[in-house]
Amino acid sequence: MQLSRSIFAASLIAVLGVTSFGLSRQHVFAATVSSGDLIRGTTYSAVYYLGADGFRYVFPNKNTYDTWYANFNDVKFISDAELAKIQIGGNVTYRPGVRMIKINSDPKTYAVDAHGTLRHIDSEAVAISLYGATWNKMIDDVPDGFFSNYTIGTKVAVASDFVPTSVTASASSINNDKTLQAPAYFSITDAGYSPIDVHITAGQTVKFTNNGGVKHTATADDLTWGSGTLNPGESFSRTFTKSGTFTFFDSYNSASTGAVYVQ
């Protein structure tokens, strides 16, 4: 049995992140920012989540933000230049268990499980068991363009298949829900890479920082990825999602080589 359609508009979409309504213009710059912080620049009011992997993550709309945070009180200001140095890692998905979602092109209503997994709620009776008599007011419409941020899991055929409070409690942070890990680091010096290789697990990020006095790169031997030119002080991060050996070189110093071993 398909659930009836509920229009719960997600109308506040900011292309670069959710707008931080209510933040004072008398902002104070953060001395430091770290994993788990909410950050924004000064020119635009888009707010991002700073992941453990060193990337910033976008809130596609205010509805998504509201499943994780009650307000914008803890947002930290950094300069636009500093914000631009932090690469975008992707979009934040709904906090598991908080609300249900659907899209215009799909009549199904989905519960949100861990890691952005969508599980079709099989009937109105199951929806009532999970979210109460006002279940139809617990549904948000997600624009089709953001639906690809999620994966489809098994359906919720009976209420015991999915316990909203339990999955919400398990997703204690966006880092936790996305299983983000701290990156491994390469320092690029004028003499070469330090270290010359790292061993990581699939899904982990590697960060290259030019600590030399001239331009350098980290360029894959097969040219499938690369940092582009890094001026002194600049960094580049890449997440390695598949197992294997990934070798690279410095375009400005071909004798300088390194490798990432992904298990």
pLDDT digits over 140-171, tens only?
A: 999 888 999 999 999 999 999 999 999 999 99
Residue 29 has a pLDDT of 81
Instruction: Give yes or no for residue 19 having a pLDDT over 70.
Output: no
pLDDT band at 26 (very low <50, low <70, confident <90, very high): low
- Segment 114-138 shows an average pLDDT of 97
Residue 28 has a pLDDT of 72
> What distance in Å separates the CA atoms of residue 234 and residue 210, rounded to the nearest whole number?
6
Tens digit of each residue's pLDDT (9 = 90 or more) over 66-113: 999 999 999 999 999 999 999 999 999 999 999 999 998 888 999 999
> What distance in Å separates the CA atoms of residue 62 and residue 48, rounded to the nearest whole number?
12
Q: Mean of the per-residue pLDDT values for the chain?
A: 90
Residue 20 has a pLDDT of 57
Task: Identify the residue with better confidence: 18 or 184.
Answer: 184
Nearest to 216, CA basis, from 258, 247, 252: 252
Query: How much of the chain, in percent, has pLDDT values that exceed 70?
Result: 90
- Segment 41-66 shows an average pLDDT of 96
Hey, what are 159's tokens? 């209420």
